[in-house]
Amino acid sequence: MERLFIDIALIWVVSILIMLPFARLKFHPILAFIAAGMLIGPYGLKIITHAENIKILGEIGIVLLLFTIGIEFSLKTFWRMRRFTLMGGLLQWGFSTLALLPVLYFFPISNPFTGIAITAAFALSSTALVLNLLQSQGMLTTFYGRIATGILIFQDLVAVALMFLLPTLLSARVSTTTLLTLGQSLVFLIGLMLVSIKVIPWLLHKVLQHTSRETLLLLLITLCFGIGWFTHAIGLSLALGAFVAGLSISESDFNIEAIGHLSPFHSVFANFFFVSVGLAIDLHFLVDHLLTIAAATLILMLIKAGILTGVLLFLKVPIRFAALVGILLAQVGEFSLVLLESIQTAATLPATLHNFLISIVIFSMILTPFLATALPAIERWMQRWVQPDLAPAPLEDQEEQPLELQNHIIIVGFGIVGRAVAQAAITAKIPYLVIEANYTTVQQEKQKGTNILFGDASNIHLLEKAGLSRARIIALTFPQATDAVTIIRSVRKLHPDIPIIARSLFASQMTLLYSAGATEVICDELETGTTMFSQILKAYLLEDSGFLQFREQLRQATYQQAAPSVAPVSPAAISSPDMSLHTLNITSESPLAGKTLQELDLSKQFGILAVGIARPNHPYTIPSADTALQPGDQLLLVGPREKIRTFLQQMLIDTIQSHQQDRDQSL
């Protein structure tokens, strides 16, 4: 026991030390744990020579990982994305499995089922790695990010099914009795799943009604290992039972809370599995066969990327997006390592082949972050050399003649922001046209009568068809800067002067978009911060127009700080350079309420004049010196912009101090 604790401590220390340089190189953390196992294992420094206990901890991690995946899995999401999860995922996995089979002819594999199992495992991609990359680069909600997610969901299900099937198919001769037993297990598993989906949420609800929420963690662990033990007792795997237990919670009210409780545990224990993988790798073999492993990895990734790109083109995904998804999912994933260990246990692969296969998985995962970083350059290359004719054909009912719109908005992207812009255009009775790369969305929107075209908005032919030369403005409503740059350049070739409003996820991307030719950039990051602080100010200023002015100043300052050379011009600043006109709303809590203009003496104090006043249901009139300001009044001020700004800032200070005094008195 003491030795186990020492080994665990060593693993964490070495893993952390390796993670630091790996993070700079943008390697996934999984690779750090594998490297730690290789370094301190029996083929490295020989600090850990007996890996049995580490493997047990790793198996616990796999059980918890499958439980968490079951909780996160949404049947509704799966069905909503069925075009890519079912058809795309099945075609990708099936064709990749078949395409890789001939390669195994060169390896010493006697059992054909072993060969099929290996290629089926290698057809899977890394869910953890790809989703992490998509999320960190803000691409998870993009069109190709959603496609990748859908295919990964299907692959996770395939991995679970393979974990269920492989022990039976590889440990015995496939016969009628074997298949019958397998069928009975499958029927029993489906029955267990249906019962669990009904019973477990009800049980959680009842238990948590009478206990504290801390009990939830203990109950979740009990369900995970309890159902896992039950499936193991009837001849199935622990991990499969854990997945069923998680799936039963996925559509309940407890799913998010459960994930929050379990995430640290499955992360810690799953990392032990990757350490155990590293412990099994022969470093001498890796060094001796480095070039062969690298060549095999590149060939494998090219095959997988090519197949997936072809499948997505068949599903009418534009070639640019199809190629990006193909590159992102070209690696072999963490579940392949799990399946390789199952294959090794059941079929006893030669040590040389086992090391070779694991090395390919690791190399492919190392290459993926670098490929993801290179995606913008790959996009630019495709934009220059890939002809638009290689894109999938448009919808059958998408007419070839240009749409005769005039002074219209071209909305690129029809997500939440795109739909909001379209709805605003409808309300204002402004004509608009949408360009959307999601084939399914276009089909659905055409049925609703939406004026929408299918395709990649960087396609010159499509832009001409959308009537770019006659359009008033173009709005790029998606937040991905690299895609926007490609589209902006295409737009500028056809129409150098049309206003282009782009959207960026991060402030660091604004200069890139302005340099490409955007007229104005709306940054999600900056708008969120500005709006959040504006709401804080609103609590003090109670919608006084000083709040509106200050909010605009805050927005301008924020954008100026983020992109000093290209900050947008505020509408509030478009007036005379010397004099400014400003309307001030008087509220019940305004420090001006109840005071006369003579008492305020705005001319002497601030160098500005009150030239008009409007009261509810009354037009503007010229105020006299003894006019007392009342809540609901609108005071029209004129003066140098800087002096009006000074006055509004003083108003802000006075209001905050007044609120502070009221709060102190109440205490």
Q: Which tens digit of pLDDT belongs to each residue from 535-582?
A: 665 555 444 445 555 556 556 655 665 555 554 444 443 344 456 667
pLDDT of residue 96: 92
Question: What's the mean pLDDT when you consider all of the chain?
Answer: 78
pLDDT of residue 660: 63
Give the DSSP H/E element, type plus range, for residue 433: strand 432-436
State how far the alpha carbon of 109 is from the alpha carbons of 96, 113, 295, in Å.
Answer: 19, 9, 21
The rounded distance, in Å, linking the Cα atoms of 438 and 557 is: 37
Q: What are phi and psi of 464, to 5 degrees?
A: -65, -40
pLDDT of residue 477: 93
The rounded distance, in Å, linking the Cα atoms of 125 and 313 is: 19
Residue 617 is given by DSSP the state T
Shortest CA distance to 321 belongs to which of 147, 443, 504? 147
Assign 153 to helix, strand or coil. helix
Residue 318 is given by DSSP the state -
Q: Which tokens hold the place of 49?
A: 């020579």
DSSP for 21-82 reads HHHHTT--HHHHHHHHHHHHSTTTT-S----HHHHHHHHHHHHHHHHHHHHH--HHHHHHTH
Q: CA-CA-CA-CA torsion for 616, 617, 620, 621, nearest 10 degrees?
A: -90
Strand partners, 379: none
DSSP for 402-429 reads PP---S-EEEE--SHHHHHHHHHHHHTT
State how far the alpha carbon of 275 is from the alpha carbons of 279, 520, 534, in Å.
Answer: 6, 49, 49
Residue 521 is given by DSSP the state E
pLDDT of residue 329: 93
DSSP for 191-211 reads HHHHHHHHHHHHHHHHHHHHS
8 A C-beta contact, residue 648 and residue 532: no
Amino acid at 341: E
Cα dihedral 149, 154, 157, 163 sign: negative
8 A C-beta contact, residue 63 and residue 238: yes
pLDDT of residue 559: 63
List the chain residues with pLDDT less than 70: 1, 74-75, 77-78, 110, 132, 135-142, 168-182, 184-186, 208-214, 235-237, 251, 253-254, 256-257, 347, 376, 379-380, 382-404, 533-581, 618-622, 656-667
pLDDT of residue 123: 93
Give the DSSP H/E element, type plus range, for residue 614: strand 609-614
Question: Which pairs count as long-range contacts for 41-44, CB under 8 Å and 24+ apart, including other chains?
Answer: 41/278, 41/279, 41/280, 41/281, 42/279, 43/281, 43/282, 43/283, 43/284, 44/283
Q: What are phi and psi of 591, to 5 degrees?
A: -65, -10
pTM for this structure? 0.59
Q: Which tokens hold the place of 268?
A: 């810690």
Shortest CA distance to 637 belongs to which of 667, 663, 607? 607
Shortest CA distance to 596 belongs to which of 618, 613, 621? 613
Give the DSSP H/E element, type plus range, for residue 453: strand 452-454
Characterize the bridge pairing of strands 500-504 and 520-523. Answer: parallel
DSSP for 648-665 reads HHHHHHHHHHHHHHHHHH
